[in-house]
Amino acid sequence: MSELRRIQLLSPRLANQIAAGEVVERPASVIKELLENSLDAGARRVDIEVEQGGIKLLRVRDDGGGIPADDLPLALARHATSKIRELEDLEAVCSLGFRGEALASISSVARLTMTSRTADAEQAWQVETEGRDMEARVQPAAHPVGTSVEVRDLFFNTPARRKFLRAEKTEFDHLQEVIKRLALARFDVAFHLRHNGKTVFALHEAPDEISRARRVASVCGPAFLEQALPIEVERSGLRLWGWVGLPTFSRSQADLQYFYVNGRMVRDKLVAHAVRQAYRDVLFNGRHPTFVLFLEIDAGVVDVNVHPTKHEVRFRDSRMVHDFLYGTLHRALGEVRPEDQLAAPAAVGQIVRPSGQAAGEFGPQGEIGLAATVLERPAVESSVWRSPGAGYQSPRPQPAIPQAEAQGAYREYFAPLAEPSAVLPQTQGDIPPLGYALAQLKGVYILAENAQGMVLVDMHAAHERITYERLKTAMACEGLRGQPLLVPESIALSQREADCAEEHGQWFQRLGFELQRLGEESLAIRQIPALLKQAEATQLVRDVLADLLEYGTSDRIQAHLNELLATMACHGAVRANRRLTLPEMNALLRDMEHTERSGQCNHGRPTWTQLGMDDLDKLFLRGR
């Protein structure tokens, strides 16, 4: 029989080392805590010096407010902080750090020296601790206003933790990524990094839009900025701004995704779901979008104290935040036209500031509401030419599609390409973004000439997207007709799921479903959308309810409908080896210029590519 072990309090030293396991995982964890303290102290410049990937030395020096001499030993104690005083302060945290555990945890597994001076102090003071010896030694020192923290020999007293560290390059890469994240969060602060005596980067303050874009290019690479769309939207106390990458600039990994809530970098599943929805129709399978986005929201309606590393947050009204993010990004991506992709990089581009529904004012219906807005706007006619030398004529507004004419609209969109009255002549006037068709290659590609050079268009993929968008618009106009089931299907659910279905009953009805509650834990499906008659209705309703409970919204029904419409569009688009006339090719180019998301087909593949004169010159070594 095992010996009875009595309960006892942990020693402060052991408690700190256990807490260090939550806070200090590797050198990158240390640099995160130190930099957050510097930013909370009001620093405008931070210098970071690293040796051996941060394992041997980490030194952070800032020009912040500093720490009074009497508070230096207390700064190394657990649960000691200047950032909150009462429980009410925790309900609206505006600082990056607030728990008061970081310095105590770091000092328990490394040799820590902190030197600081306040603006009204005659001299600086220094405090030192060394691993398990938690006795803090304070002495006078020389230092300008601000604070320097030096962490040496990480995990020197805990070999079991030290052996889990990776190679120097790997640890430095993680550390550098943390600094980049914070550099993107605070454009008003200069960051300077040195590793093993060599300068890695020096990021100066970025007070205006141009310099901010330069910093984004330095951190994320210039290619991202050239393929990104600037965005700024404000509605109902929410403000979203930053840069979203075009679908053509996707990645094989989710390694270029930066999302900030009130300046705090987060990786939140609600945010990830909203972004994934917004890119659903334009991203190739298995690819990940790129973005640097900042959400500003009242600190009182977001809880940052839900995860030890503060990487997750909880919103009081998660559904409103989700719909705002999804709607804003969906409209921004939908408004991208070929001329935007051919324009100057985002550094000097005009920031998109949509309003109303374009700012995200829609709920779980998703694209049904979005497509319906297309019908409220004037339709655009394919671009035409007036006379030789007269230049490009902008599209003329046409009346919206009447409700009566929308009946049978699906059939109309499978008709052959319309043929303009005359071939578009080549003039020296304004040239359309995709230019004029010159020829058809192998019955698959359209070769066109624009102001930049040569354009290659995949005619099937382009026509597929045009047809798909028109089908979605027609479906929004006609509405979703329901088909009653001969034998209603019953579902056994939890009471929470059944309550959710009853609460969203009207929404289900608008999407063509009719649900009836039979008991506390059961439902009956009496009607489903006519277009989804082949779908597994029971499983679809279960999945939708799971989404509604998790995110407050769901796009599964719309996703199933879009898959069906995409299939219809694929079969209705022009096939390979069909010979098109020049007028037909030009009509397709003009339709692409006025169709949402025309840069990608329904499967996320690109529909066209540009070869500029510089690209062509490189192929033939001209000018060398």
Kindly list the averaged pLDDT for each block of 10 residues, start to end, along the chain of length 624: 76 69 84 92 95 95 93 82 68 69 84 94 91 75 95 87 89 95 95 95 92 93 91 92 91 92 88 90 87 92 73 84 92 85 53 38 38 37 30 37 40 47 49 92 92 93 89 72 85 90 83 86 87 74 82 70 74 79 92 90 87 91 82
Number of other residues whose CB lies within 10 A of the CB of residue 472? 24
- Residue 57 to residues 158, 212, 251, 344, 601, Cα–Cα distance (Å): 16, 30, 34, 43, 51
pLDDT of residue 307: 65
Q: How many helices (H) and strands (E) does the chain have?
A: 22, 24
Q: Classify 447 as helix, strand or coil.
A: strand
Q: Classify 426 as helix, strand or coil.
A: coil
C-alpha dihedral sign at 493, 497, 500, 504: negative
Is there a contact between 529 and 483 (Cβ–Cβ < 8 Å)?
yes
Which residue, 326, 320, 309, 217, is CA-closest to 267?
309
pLDDT of residue 116: 95
pLDDT of residue 88: 66
Which H/E stretch holds residue 265?
strand 264-265
Domains 209-362 and 380-624 alike in fold:
no
Could you give the strand order of the β-sheet that contains 264-265, starting from the edge strand earlier in sequence? 228-235, 238-245, 291-296, 257-261, 264-265
Point out which residues pair with 258 in neighbouring strands. Answer: 292
Which residue, 451, 222, 240, is CA-closest to 346?
222
Point out which residues pair with 456 in neighbouring strands. Answer: 447, 609
Which residue, 332, 340, 216, is CA-closest to 278?
332
Q: What six digits make up the tokens of 148? A: 């320097």
Which residue, 208, 194, 252, 217, is CA-closest to 58?
194
Whether CATH 3.30.2130.10 fits 380-624: no
pLDDT of residue 268: 84
Is there a contact between 475 and 371 (Cβ–Cβ < 8 Å)?
yes
Q: CATH for 209-362?
A: 3.30.230.10
pLDDT of residue 309: 62
pTM value is 0.75
Q: What six digits make up the tokens of 128? A: 């030192």
In 142-206, which ranges are E strands? 146-152, 190-195, 198-203
Is there a contact between 557 and 396 (Cβ–Cβ < 8 Å)?
no
pLDDT of residue 169: 94
Q: Classify 553 as helix, strand or coil.
A: coil
Is there a contact between 514 and 497 (Cβ–Cβ < 8 Å)?
no
The β-bridge relationship of strands 190-195 and 198-203 is antiparallel
In 279-425, which ranges are E strands? 291-296, 302-303, 314-315, 379-380, 397-398
Backbone angles phi, psi at 377, to 5 degrees: -90, 155
Which H/E stretch holds residue 297?
none
- Candidates 3.40.50.1100, 3.30.565.10, 3.90.230.10, 1.10.10.10; CATH matching 12-203: 3.30.565.10
pLDDT of residue 543: 83
Alpha-carbon span 433 to 338, nearest angstrom:
6
CA 182 to chain centre: 16
In 331-444, which ranges are E strands? 379-380, 397-398, 436-441
Which H/E stretch holds residue 46?
strand 45-51
Domain extent listing, the chain: 12-203, 209-362, 380-624
